[in-house]
Amino acid sequence: MTDSKISPSPKTSWLRHVLTAFGPLVGLAVVCALFAVLRFETFVTRDNFAIIMQQTAVIGIAALGMTLVIIAGGIDLSVGSIIALGTVVIALLLQKGVSPLLAALGGVGASALCGALSGLLITRLRLLPFVVTLGMMGALRGAAKGLSGEQPVYPDESWLNGLMQLGRHGGLPSGVWLMLGLAVLVSLALRYTRFGRHVFAVGSNELTARLCGVPVERVKLWVYILGGAFAGVGAVLQFAYLTGGDPTTAAGLELNIIAAVVIGGASLAGGQGTITGTLVGALIMSVVANGCTKLGLSNWVQEIVTGGIIIAAVLLDYLRRRSALRNA
């Protein structure tokens, strides 16, 4: 309470800054180095790099929206189901003879509507995001199955199917460029718009945000709409990858998406998170999956490793926060 305490010593604050900013990146470098040492010939190739990026695209794009939701202090468990529903909507629209572009936009729009529904339930009825989106997860999965007659839908081929194709000589699929482009946009929006500031404020301290005249409910609603829309863009890529709509696809993917955001340094308590962190988090998971396959490790080993990384990331966040508290 006295004025003599000004700030933590520059050294610890510098260390913390590095940890916050580059922690996930250091993690990515470590796993890459590990696999590079163990399987240099097959891991460190241009083609493999392109494959890793391709495997990251769907999770990465959906995680952009999830980052907004989590920074605002919320959570969306329904994005896996939204992606499945999105692929089905796109496939059905294409079957009806709608142009590929409109079909893709239709998928994104339907996904955004799903997010809007969650957002409305959360803001209007003041229900817990966890519970609302848990319900939406089941309901939307059911809707996807109902719409498709519980069968995968394969429409005629269109240019959409090419979005996830690897280029020749290890060129990146256009879906990956889409992810990177959107990431830049969201990152800029978080830093250079009032909306971005409001998202952080709502997640950091909702009462302060209200006191300062931030339209808290509207910000939350928009965050869920955007979360849905980004999952919808993810659905376009998933559709391209599967070359069809599948109501059972992306089951459990929401957990990987949330994991990517958390590994990237966002706090589930809200108010904290970065887009670069999220992308790095998504990459870490793809690299681990890819590297384990190259090492010939079974699926279950991958799952244990990925789980361990998530816990390590949260532990790191906890340690960071504790040191911040101690210095406060």
Q: Interface residues with other proteins (CB under 8 A)? A: 1-8, 13, 191-197, 200-201, 204-205, 207-215, 271-272, 324, 327-328
- Which one, 87 or 272, has the nearer CB to other proteins? 272
- Report whether 68 contacts 186 (CB < 8 A): yes
- Least CB distance to other proteins at residue 4 (A): 8
Q: Given the complex with other proteins, which of 8 and 170 has the nearer CB atom?
A: 8
Instruction: Please identify which residue in the block is written with the tokens 């302060």.
Output: 208
Considering the complex, what minimum distance in angstroms separates the CB of residue 311 from other proteins? 23
Place of tokens 């869920």: 224
Minimum Å distance from CB 223 to other proteins? Answer: 17
Using alpha carbons only, what angle is made at residue 210 by residues 206 and 211, rounded to the nearest 5 degrees? 115
Phi then psi for residue 153, to 5 deg, are: -115, 120
Q: Give CA 258 to chain center in angstroms.
A: 6
Closer to other proteins by CB, 45 or 327: give it. Answer: 327
- Rank residues 125 and 211 by Cβ distance to other proteins and give the closer one: 211
Report the DSSP beta bridge partners of residue 245.
153
Task: Quote the CA–CA distance of 45 and 120 in Å, as a whole number.
Answer: 47
Q: How far is the CB of 200 from other proteins (least distance, A)?
A: 7
Task: State which residue, 95 or 204, has the beta carbon closest to other proteins.
Answer: 204
Give me the least distance between CB of 117 and other proteins, in Å please: 25
User: Between 215 and 308, whose beta carbon lies closer to other proteins?
Assistant: 215
Q: Report phi then psi at 50, rounded to 5.
A: -65, -40
Distances in Å between the Cα of 156 and the Cα atoms of 97, 244, 250 are 10, 9, 22
Kindly state the smallest distance separating residue 214's Cβ from other proteins, in Å.
Answer: 7
Q: Residues 211, 215, 220, 226: is their CA dihedral positive or negative?
A: negative
Cα–Cα dist 238/304, whole Å: 25
